[in-house]
Amino acid sequence: MAELLSDLLFIFQRLDWLSLIDILLVTVIFFSILYLVRDTQAMVLLRGIILLLVLVALLTSLVNLPAFSWLVRTALPAMVIAIPVIFAPEIRRALERIGRAGTFLRSSDKNTAQEMQETIQAVVSAAARLSARQHGALIILQRFDNLDEYLHSGVLIDAGVTPELLIQIFYPNTPLHDGAAVVSGKKVLAAACVMPLSASGILARSPERQMGLRHRAALGISEVSDAIAVVVSEETGAISIAHSGRMIRRLDVERLENILTAFYNPEKASQENFFRRHFPYLFPRKDE
């Protein structure tokens, strides 16, 4: 124990500001990697790789195994090449997020902000009415990423967004109800669009079974783009929202409107939250 404490004291005595910055950078890199792959199938693979590396390190350091050590040294370069192939989707998603990090919302001018607020009101109203009727729906709100490849998988509409139009699109057994409606600005661009299904294990690990293909498609499009997906469950009528591979479930109308407003007009959302906290009588509940 005394020798261990002596070694630790020697290490701390050699630390300087440059060493601390070096350790901090390595920590940030590992934390970012773990943050990006959490709740995905890649997390299982990463856990297996780490466990295998620890086991190999223990075998090669504690036991004298010349042939096994040679095999590990030979296979290590192949593992370094294989890791980018295994984690290709996660690496691509991380680079896309970095590329969007410096992007600012285009809704800075008042006209565009007003248009987006009208679109949010239409989507929220339609989601509330669809939820009350338990009509399944998937509404994709396009942001900066281009969704043309998914638009062409459905029926082009290019009509002004209204609650009535969205309700009619998702009316059961109509030609357009099976698929996603893509909204951009104040237009419904297309309906019955096919979205990519999520490859993560979030829904598979959920104890609830009400989340089907619509929820998987909502997560899938949020994983490959910066779009926002609003889902209404056909079985329960529950409203959910997906963004960046994450899903918030069982939203009421007020919370859905607040979340969408925060995405497109964060200043307005923060101001409303302030007034709601301090002057609640100015914002009566919509069910009163």
What pLDDT, on the 0 to 100 scale, is given for residue 106? Answer: 45
pLDDT for position 111 = 42
Local confidence band at 105 (pLDDT 50, 70, 90 cut-offs): very low
Q: Please name the amino acid found at residue 249.
A: R
Q: Could you give the 3-state DSSP secondary structure of residue 141?
A: strand
Which range, of 133-137, 257-261, 266-270, averages the lowest pLDDT? 266-270
pLDDT 10s digits, 12-43: 677 777 878 888 888 888 787 777 666 555 66
Q: What is the CATH topology of the domain spanning 110-279?
A: YojJ-like (1 (3.40.1700)
Which of 80, 93, 76, 118 has its CA nearest to residue 42?
Answer: 93
HSE-CB of 238 using CA atoms within 13 angstroms: 16
Please determine, for residue 238, whether its predicted confidence score (pLDDT) is greater than 80. Answer: yes
Give the integer Cα–Cα distance in Å for 211 and 234.
9
What is the distance between the alpha carbons of residues 147 and 252, in angstroms, rounded to a whole number?
28
Instruction: Using the Cα atoms of residue 276, residue 242, residue 98 and residue 21 in order, give the sign of their dihedral.
Output: positive
In this structure, are residues 52 and 43 in contact, taking their beta carbons and an 8 Å threshold?
no
- What are the tokens at 243? 């963004």
pTM of the model: 0.63
pLDDT for 110 beyond 60: no
**Look-up: residue for tokens 């294990």?**
201
Sheet with 239-243, side-by-side order of all strands: 155-160, 187-193, 180-184, 137-141, 228-232, 239-243, 246-251
Q: How far apart are CA 275 and CA 15, in angstroms?
A: 49
What per-residue confidence (pLDDT) applies to 245? 81
The predicted-structure confidence for 118-149, as pLDDT tens digits, reads as follows: 899 999 999 999 999 999 999 999 988 888 88
Domain ranges within the chain, ordered by starting residue: 2-100, 110-279
pLDDT, the chain, mean: 77
